[in-house]
Structure 1
């Protein structure tokens, strides 16, 4: 009871805020207002000052923007690159090969998952999303997969399966093992097995519940409909040629082998490829040069990102240290920016500087439209993390900063019964609660410590319990169940509302985690 007596009004306000946000999500309503009000209440309860509460509303969103802007910027630069590629028709050429593999929406769903999983095993999934999303999502949608199905496949395979095991880089199992006093390789091997179990269940249920009923017949109409779908889920006017990188109507026609013969500016399929044409204004030599650059960048762009993957997996090739997380995202963004400038230059030197700036601005606008509402929500959960709460609550450096979320979990852990089943699911739930802040890895020291303390009483290996807690924390906060995590990057590229993706993923992921926990109990 000592831990409960140490809780303050700020802890209870934070707990009420978490419950209110979860309840609001269950009722399929927007959680921005509850998050703002909860941030205000926690700040007032913590400081006793109304002024601090008002400032915390602003500082919460500002802190969230600081923490998440790398995701915003990666999406913006990749969108800018796609704008540049579309100018010369190279995006059409890059999609065409995948059309042969993704023969229908069912196959496309599992191909997306497999490729995302393999790439994300070697470096964390946030930088993998642009690699997969920029080229494979349009091809999958053309094949008949729904945008929601595409987002679910990438999230489960990357943010779920690959990140929860972190089997190659081994940051997550290293943290869990150190906190639990267990062997790191044992934790990694157990987590790898559990991630496969959870992923297989989640993918299977998502296919059965969401994908199976929404698959369409392959065709250009799928991409046209995708482009016409606005961020709010309402139809927008048909896209014009000058619109951004997601104007896929022309791309769809090219991949289907169609030809555009309209008299207005359009994408024409020339020699089996795509090129921008302006009848009566572009001569044969210019046409040939334009097509040459289109073919060149349709090959150079995938090769450049393949080189990025190789450098991430084998950084010693260029004499660099291990590249991971934010460094990997920065490398992706830098390569995208250089390629965008080159593609823009290849489409014409006149207006090159202005068009380059416009591409970047369009990318930033798209990123903030897709994810801007997430900032106040993330700001509330950052109040519960001691590493960010000080800035939001206006606590001076050197003073004690509360860790509201972790302290609440620690206070409740004493009520977990001492049996393998209850302890295992208690550690899983603890991991899921710590993952609510959207970080995934922040709760691993707590779940590892609990695993080491509870393992002797539950007669289970500490490594197994640590792996269970790792599953709960990373699957939740890594980007499958939390709207303010890196799931926003996935849904940004798939162009689906992030809360819609959370609702579609909730039951399959929960069932997958339960199945993985049952397997862990059985093998312990």
Structure 2
């Protein structure tokens, strides 16, 4: 089928390159996205009022599409703050400390535990949940604080966040942008996540052991600067940790993993994916937050539930604030354009991105290698803003564009772009994205980013090669 490109297609393509260029320069893309939507509206409708209102409506459309993802992350974060404030998090991870006997065990146990907890709580809350407890133990057995930070960062903000199998915020975002079922993207990401995770963590461990042996990095047990959260109106801090008895903390530390394990069992048994799986996890988190708040704060529990939810929503919209405008622009590449501006595309059009993909297939001989390298490059570039999530709104449409041209591999290319964007920006090698892990371990975020750089680059190369054979 031959598609005739018009001015809308070229404007959209120009703004894609502008957005990528601005991300490379580490600047915010919000203004460019808004201008892009406005110009598309002017050209499509020939009406200034419709174009102006279209900018607002596009943001509403994006928020509507992203609302489930924003909500689940907000609720999970709010629940994690309850666990942190009451000290239940310390009880949950303390059984694992007896297995940490050597630096090698410390690296892998902390990393794997961080990955598992991050799948359920997301990495930033998971750092706070376990970092303060496991860091002193690791340092005591000979693993430097920078080694703990590397393990927590690569396994949490790398493997767990780029896969996001349980909460499914990342794959839901990329799958919607690419117009694919979320299950397809998750399944396609499994071999890529495994490759990236194994290569990166093993290379990082080898470099870490080499530098420990040569005394480039040393253990300084008395120089641990753990970043603790301040006491805010009684919702956090050491005072709150004494409000629950040790027995109650132990009971909750057992019940919480069981509840989430049941969620996973139900997901598998009932074949729940996407929004249904997210709703199950989110509902469980709300009940956990509510139960712990009421048991801890008693008469003030009603107000504290609201406070923890507010903290969660503040975190959620802070994370997704930069994402909404860029998502709004890239939703315009699909049939979201029709929702916002009406039936203004050519009759044969399948959406701006699909049209560009078909045109590209007729004009340029593309192959699996070019597609895989391009998606890794685009994902990495868009991750340079330090968010990761703003970038995966872009890789979806580009993956669909290239898969249309190649004739296959839409899910794999989408998953590859997601992995690259989040590993870079979500993040492991952008200094301002590694601050949570660096702060809790008391290390320089720039030093942590430098130490992650070589392993992540090697991992991206290996993952891209694997993707070439899968597409």
Q: TM over 0.5: same fold?
A: yes
**Are positions 1:242 and 2:233 aligned together?**
yes
**Are positions 1:8 and 2:6 aligned together?**
yes
1:281 maps to which residue? none
2:275 maps to which residue? 326
- CA displacement at 1:385 relative to structure 2: 1.7
Give the whole-Å Cα distance in 2 for the aligned partners of 1:118 and 1:354: 31
- CA displacement at 1:405 relative to structure 2: 2.0
**Are positions 1:309 and 2:264 aligned together?**
yes
**Are positions 1:59 and 2:57 aligned together?**
yes
Q: Count residues in correspondence.
A: 421
Q: Deviations over 1:12-37 (max 9, x none)?
A: 11112111111111111122222222
8 Å contact kept, 2:200–2:456? yes
**Are positions 1:39 and 2:37 aligned together?**
yes
- CA displacement at 1:330 relative to structure 2: 0.9
2:227 maps to which residue? 224
Give the whole-Å Cα distance in 2 for the aligned partners of 1:202 and 1:486: 13
Q: Deviations over 1:213-272 (max 9, x none)?
A: 9998678954416x4xxxxxxxxxxx1253656x6xx5xxxxxxxxxxxxxxx36xxxxx
**Are positions 1:476 and 2:425 aligned together?**
no
- CA displacement at 1:348 relative to structure 2: 4.0
Give the whole-Å Cα distance in 1 for the aligned partners of 2:42 and 2:423: 26
**Are positions 1:338 and 2:287 aligned together?**
yes
Give the whole-Å Cα distance in 1 for the aligned partners of 2:355 and 2:9: 8
Equivalent residues in 2 for 1:397-408, closer than 5 Å: 403-408=351-356
Give the whole-Å Cα distance in 2 for the aligned partners of 1:392 and 1:506: 41
Which of 355, 359, 362 is equivalent to 1:414? 362
The 3 A distance-change label for structure 1 pair 105 and 216 is farther
Q: Any gaps of 5 or more consecutive residues in structure 1?
A: 120-124, 180-184, 228-238, 251-265, 268-273, 277-288, 316-320, 453-464
2:302 maps to which residue? 353
Equivalent residues in 2 for 1:141-160, closer than 5 Å: 143=135, 144=145, 150=152, 152-158=154-160, 160=162
The 3 A distance-change label for structure 1 pair 343 and 162 is closer
What is the CA RMSD across the aligned residues, in angstroms?
5.1
Give the whole-Å Cα distance in 2 for the aligned partners of 1:398 and 1:415: 20
Q: Deviations over 1:68-122 (max 9, x none)?
A: 1222212222233234334543233223334555789987775566467779xxx
8 Å contact kept, 1:95–1:139? yes
- CA displacement at 1:337 relative to structure 2: 0.9
- CA displacement at 1:438 relative to structure 2: 2.4
Give the whole-Å Cα distance in 2 for the aligned partners of 1:129 and 1:45: 45
- CA displacement at 1:376 relative to structure 2: 1.0
8 Å contact kept, 1:439–1:477? no
Give the whole-Å Cα distance in 2 for the aligned partners of 1:405 and 1:215: 52
Which of 56, 70, 73 is equivalent to 1:72? 70
8 Å contact kept, 1:89–1:294? yes
Give the whole-Å Cα distance in 1 for the aligned partners of 2:344 and 2:469: 49
The 3 A distance-change label for structure 1 pair 510 and 405 is farther
1:84 maps to which residue? 82
Give the whole-Å Cα distance in 2 for the aligned partners of 1:202 and 1:450: 31
Give the whole-Å Cα distance in 2 for the aligned partners of 1:215 and 1:323: 47
2:462 maps to which residue? 515
8 Å contact kept, 1:275–1:290? yes
- CA displacement at 1:39 relative to structure 2: 1.8
Larger helix percent? 2
Segment of structure 1 superposing worse, 331-340 or 76-85:
76-85
The 3 A distance-change label for structure 1 pair 323 and 56 is same
- CA displacement at 1:151 relative to structure 2: 5.1
- CA displacement at 1:349 relative to structure 2: 3.0
> Match of 2:307, SS?
helix
> Match of 2:242, SS?
strand
> Match of 1:29, SS?
coil
1:393 maps to which residue? 341
> Match of 1:379, SS?
helix
Segment of structure 1 superposing worse, 9-18 or 469-478:
469-478
> Match of 2:318, SS?
helix
> Match of 1:297, SS?
helix
Higher alpha-carbon Rg:
1
The 3 A distance-change label for structure 1 pair 26 and 350 is same
The 3 A distance-change label for structure 1 pair 197 and 437 is closer
Which of 314, 328, 333 is equivalent to 1:379? 328
8 Å contact kept, 2:93–2:130? yes
8 Å contact kept, 1:109–1:153? no
